Structure 1
Amino acid sequence: MSSKTREQEVSWLSETMSGQVDFEQRMLGSSGEIGLQYLRSLTNSDTISRYVIVPGYEMEDVKAFESYISSFPGTIQTGERQQILEYVLKGFAYIRIASRGYLFDAVKVESSGVGEAVNESIVQGPRDALSESIEMNLNLIRRRYQSAALKVDMLTLGKVSHTSVAILYDNDRVDQQVLKEMKKRIADVDIDILQSAGELEKYITPERFRIFPTMVVTERPDRVVFNIAEGKVAVIIDSNGFAIIAPVVFSDFFTAMDDKIQVPLVGWFLKIIRYIGLFLTLTLPALYVTFASYNPEILKVQISLLIAGSRAAVPYPSFMEVFLMLLMMEFLTEASLRLPKAIGPTATTVGGLILGQAATQAGLVSNIMIILVSAVAISNFIIPLSMMGYTIRVIKYGMVLFAITFGLVGIVVSIVGLIMYLSGLRSFGRPYMKMFALDSKVKGGQ
């Protein structure tokens, strides 16, 4: 790069960054052959000062300074304008030394650090969660998976955000067809801004209209490591504390990480409890409508009379009562999530108690309905992964509609139809309802 070309390079970058109040440019040393340009808000000022500015004045030999800068890990020698602009916008410093240009890694990482898992709490086991820094997340995973077979492929998504995306897999255990399909889907994503793992999961899922998740989005590094060891593929995104895991099976959404720590019989018992909770949260509202209004003869006479007596003062049909209370429970759940943490639990708990008691005394709902809605809410909350919990919250309304239309037969038909739908689902070509999506003993997809 000649002196004239270098001046043009300086002028081009300065013009491109004109109007940016945090854009810094200066000359170092007495020779005037060292130029420095960077964005102050994205670069670490201490790193720039300690490793670039101070040596730039202390070293009188320009060639020695160039050799010093080029020896740093992550330093890139380049003269391409587009690459220079892209890396400066990431937080790199552009250093012009004589006739050469270097991109110096001085990125300022602002993240929340390693915190405790909030959405997937466990009783025993590690409590750390993925952070908002992709480098820190790779550190958390590699510390747990100390194998040379663990490979990391880096991609960049987003025309504006230029978000770094890492694909992690065990090269000896991964199914190569799944890996190839994952890379293809991610490479085909065409968006301007990517900010979260859930957003990427939506874009790489081919089914436009779907209700069940076919990939796990998790915040736990130990879950990521466990699934990589099973031959699955994990995807982590910079500036987001969640990872995507694929392929998955239905039972993965009902497995908590401390199930692996418990005595095997205890672990299976806990998983069975979750499936019972799944069945209850799906069917209880529909069964109430059926037994209260359509098929009371199936129950014992005493129970049927108990339900009828509880509803004696309720002025509208049972399905309206169910919809009213389920919606109020949804309102309370959303309010507990959106309100500030200091007042959210208290406000929703007190509001729920007052609402339930007042509605019962006013004769708007029955006592049994209050008990039933509470059981439905508790059963839904025992699902370890929130993605599946949201799905189940939606599906139970469909089962109530079937119960309104066809009674008990409608419930049976909806359950059979749901099982058939799940049996037809695929996660990256693997059966969704199969007990084990991949055999960890099978290596390289052979």
Structure 2
Amino acid sequence: MNTQETLLWINEQFANTNELTQKTLEYESKNISYMYIKSLIDKELLQKILLKPFFEMSNMDQYKLYVQALPQYQEISSKEQALLEIMNGNILLEIDNELLLIELKLSKNDAVSSASVEMTIHGSQLALSDNLMTNINLIRSYYRQPTLNIEYMSYGEVNQQKVALVYDSEKVNEQALKLIREKIQRVDKQLISAANQFNNYLNDKRFSLFPQMVMTERPDRVIYNIGGGKIIILEDGSSQSLAAPVVFFDFMITMEDDYHTIVISTFLRMLRYLGFFISLLLPSIYVGVTSFAPEVFRTELALTVAGSRMGVPFSSFVEVLFMLFFMELLLEASIRLPKAVSATATTVGGLILGTAVTEASLASNIMVIIVSAVAISTFVIPVNEMAFAIRIVRFLLILITTIFGLAGLTLGFLVFIMYLVSLDSFGEPYLRVYNYRKSKKRSEGQA
């Protein structure tokens, strides 16, 4: 194996990234060269095990024997192996025109916490850290490709926070990358404390209900998005990351979908979309049917609904708003209360409220069932930002249905679809169906 050809080939593989570090040391009659990926290497071990002995030992033969005697040393059989080991956290060392591999990998898995927002039963439970270099280390540990590129920037006049753009230079959406770079350059804020703030700063449609970027704390979701050609925004001091561009269907995906069989995954996706439509449309349908078109129900069901509303002094519109308003208060209280009491307080509060309003004839039993179904269905949506948007659209559809009935609900839902069609995320149509697996197979076939 030719040493110079191997080094040149490895440099070509990392031509589109600035992560590969290559240095040459010369002292008296001794000289060595070494290369590594800086986010994967324990720099203290590098200094202690390789650099300090280089300056202390008298000749290169002694130093070479010392390196080969290290327990971290391993032989190289091919240039492909050398490339893979560099991406696994090894240092490639050249001594007397001979290449040696020394493993000095920096492991950050013990420095990160468990996911607390995006919970899953199967798969990794790791979450991103508040430290930027720890997050870069995690990403590089799981995404071992030389085309992974990281761009570092600093923003915020007060705190000068360090921001990183992470993407695969071969798969990235170039148009979206150009737009994100331009928009980040225009960001002019005195204080930037979290990556989440870029969700607003980079969005041209500031009053858009729907998020233009996916917010995630999970390294496996970050890797999935990088493999799909997305750009990841990380910030030092923030445990959340942003992925762009996105489509609507990205917000209905969980990482567990890949851990089940296709039948189970399809069933779970159907449940999520069913929950999406229930949380969005069920209150409006109740208002439209009870106030404008009770004949839509079968006679027995219509009589049951009418009987449950006997004694209720309000119209169905006021009844729905009353119950949904208190449901929103309970959801907000569950977030603000201390963790030790939030679950108990909101559960007891919901039970007492549901029982009290029905006994006081302020709402019907059917309404309590509908509000409970809507609350449960809202929690099925995997990404919180999308759930927040649906909660607002739900009230708009109730208002339209109150004025125009079921015809207004139909029209409002069509306007909702048209609004989604008009949106884009950094040039990517919002309702475009994107299949990462098919695109991956297509790119591999072209290669």
TM-score (norm 2): 0.73
> Does the 8 Å CA contact 1:360/1:367 hold for their aligned counterparts?
yes
Residues 49-97 of structure 1 deviation map (CA, whole Å, 9 limit, x = unaligned): xx9xxxxxxxxxxxxxxxxxxxxxxxxxxxxxxxxxxxxxxxxxxxxxx
Residue 248 (structure 1) aligns with: 246
Name the SS for the 1:167 alignment partner.
strand
Residue 274 (structure 1) aligns with: 272
Residue 322 (structure 2) aligns with: 324
Residues 272-308 of structure 1 deviation map (CA, whole Å, 9 limit, x = unaligned): 1100000000111101111111110111111111111
Residues 365-393 of structure 1 deviation map (CA, whole Å, 9 limit, x = unaligned): 10000000000000000111101011111
> Does the 8 Å CA contact 1:430/1:437 hold for their aligned counterparts?
no
Q: 1:150 aligns with which of 142, 145, 148?
A: 148
Residue 285 (structure 2) aligns with: 287
Q: 1:225 aligns with which of 198, 223, 226?
A: 223
Residue 93 (structure 1) aligns with: none
Distance 1:289 1:344 in 2: 31
Residue 386 (structure 1) aligns with: 384
Name the SS for the 2:167 alignment partner.
strand
- Indicate how the Cα distance of structure 1 residues 283 and 415 shifts in structure 2: closer, same or farther if over 3 A, else same: same
> Does the 8 Å CA contact 2:128/2:135 hold for their aligned counterparts?
yes
Residue 421 (structure 2) aligns with: 423
> Does the 8 Å CA contact 2:114/2:126 hold for their aligned counterparts?
yes
Residue 306 (structure 2) aligns with: 308
Residue 199 (structure 2) aligns with: 201
Per-residue deviation, 1:437: 7.8
Per-residue deviation, 1:338: 0.3
> Does the 8 Å CA contact 1:247/1:437 hold for their aligned counterparts?
no
Tell me how many residue pairs correspond in the alignment: 337
Distance 2:196 2:282 in 1: 30
Per-residue deviation, 1:399: 0.7
Residues 125-176 of structure 1 deviation map (CA, whole Å, 9 limit, x = unaligned): 0000001000111111111101111000000010001010000000111122
Residue 118 (structure 1) aligns with: 116
Deviates more, 1:317-326 or 1:173-182: 173-182
Distance 1:163 1:415 in 2: 42
Residue 264 (structure 1) aligns with: 262
- Note the 1:5-404 alignment, pairs <5 A: 113-404=111-402
Per-residue deviation, 1:113: 3.9
Residues 111-134 of structure 1 deviation map (CA, whole Å, 9 limit, x = unaligned): x94111111101100000001000
Distance 2:111 2:385 in 1: 24
- Indicate how the Cα distance of structure 1 residues 398 and 437 shifts in structure 2: closer, same or farther if over 3 A, else same: farther
Name the SS for the 1:153 alignment partner.
strand
Residue 12 (structure 2) aligns with: none
> Does the 8 Å CA contact 2:246/2:430 hold for their aligned counterparts?
yes
> Does the 8 Å CA contact 1:132/1:241 hold for their aligned counterparts?
yes
> Does the 8 Å CA contact 2:199/2:212 hold for their aligned counterparts?
no
Gaps of 5+ in 2: 1-43, 49-109
RMSD between superposed Cα atoms in Å: 2.0
> Does the 8 Å CA contact 2:379/2:387 hold for their aligned counterparts?
yes
Distance 1:311 1:172 in 2: 61
TM-score (norm 1): 0.73
Name the SS for the 1:258 alignment partner.
helix
Gaps of 5+ in 1: 1-46, 52-111
Name the SS for the 2:232 alignment partner.
strand
Name the SS for the 1:407 alignment partner.
helix
> Does the 8 Å CA contact 2:175/2:427 hold for their aligned counterparts?
no
